């Protein structure tokens, strides 16, 4: 198995995802196989891990006064101590992309949407771009998470040929159900604790 990486293609693909998501998702319908999305996922995960590593090692000292209760100066992780976590997080994100795509694909089948596992994988992988690239930015990172959710809705609507509204509900209903179940479990667990 040979994977190739072209930095210029990565940048162009990312620009297209962020600026013209509908056209991008329509264009990747012609993309053959899983390797381009897999390669993109690897690069995206490495970039996100590097940004997280830099955030912890470079931005933490700037906010040290505000974060005094989080780490004492002696407990703050050092750069070399974080390197194993960097590699592990990049690998886990790539592997979990397959798992989450499988979960999405199964849910789409329950909802009777017609598409393949690879449609779900490509949709999920490419939708992660804003969160992976910019989610580390303090305060505004959450907005990029919302934009990633929007891109996932757009990808679902294009790949499964449904409206964005239906794609939104197909995606959000199970999330709401999970939050409700989690809340019920938390309430039950806290009620039995002494």
What six digits make up the tokens of 26? Answer: 């329509």
Q: Are 160 and 108 in contact (CB under 8 A)?
A: yes
Q: Looking at per-residue confidence, does 184 or 77 come out higher?
A: 184
CA 58, 62, 67, 68 torsion: positive or negative? positive
pLDDT tens profile 67-90: 555 555 555 666 667 777 778 888
Q: CA 8, 42, 119, 105: dihedral to nearest 10 degrees?
A: -160
- How far from 118 is each of 16, 113, 131, 155, 162, CA to CA, in Å? 20, 14, 21, 12, 17
Mean pLDDT of 51-74: 64
Taking the C-alpha atoms of residue 61 and residue 131, their distance in angstroms, rounded to an integer, is 23
Domain boundaries, the chain: 7-192
The answer on pLDDT for 175 being more than 80 is: no
pTM of the full predicted structure? 0.80
Work out the pLDDT band at 18, boundaries 50, 70, 90: very high
Cα 108 to Cα 30, 57, 136, 141, 160, distances in angstroms: 21, 40, 30, 28, 9
Q: Are 151 and 129 in contact (CB under 8 A)?
A: yes
Task: Looking at 67-140, list the stretches that DSSP marks H as alpha helix, in order from N- to C-terminal side.
Answer: 79-110, 117-127, 129-134
């Amino acid at each position: 198995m040979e994977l190739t990486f072209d930095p210029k293609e990565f940048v162009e693909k990312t620009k297209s995802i962020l600026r013209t998501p509908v056209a991008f998702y329509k264009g990747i319908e012609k993309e053959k196989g899983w390797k381009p999305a897999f390669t993109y996922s690897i690069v995206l995960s490495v970039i996100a891990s590097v940004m997280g590593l830099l955030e912890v090692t470079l931005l933490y000292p700037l906010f040290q006064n505000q974060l005094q209760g989080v780490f004492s100066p002696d407990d703050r992780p050092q750069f070399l101590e974080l390197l194993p976590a960097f590699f592990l997080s990049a690998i886990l994100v790539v592997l979990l992309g397959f798992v989450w795509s499988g979960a999405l694909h199964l849910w789409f089948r329950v909802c009777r949407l017609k598409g393949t596992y690879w449609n779900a994988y490509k949709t999920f992988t490419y939708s992660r771009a804003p969160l992976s690239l910019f989610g580390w930015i303090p305060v505004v990172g959450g907005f990029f998470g919302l934009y990633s959710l929007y891109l996932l809705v757009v990808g679902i609507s294009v790949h499964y040929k449904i409206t964005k509204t239906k794609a939104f509900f197909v995606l959000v209903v199970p999330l709401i159900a999970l939050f409700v179940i989690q809340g019920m479990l938390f309430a039950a667990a806290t009620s039995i604790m002494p």
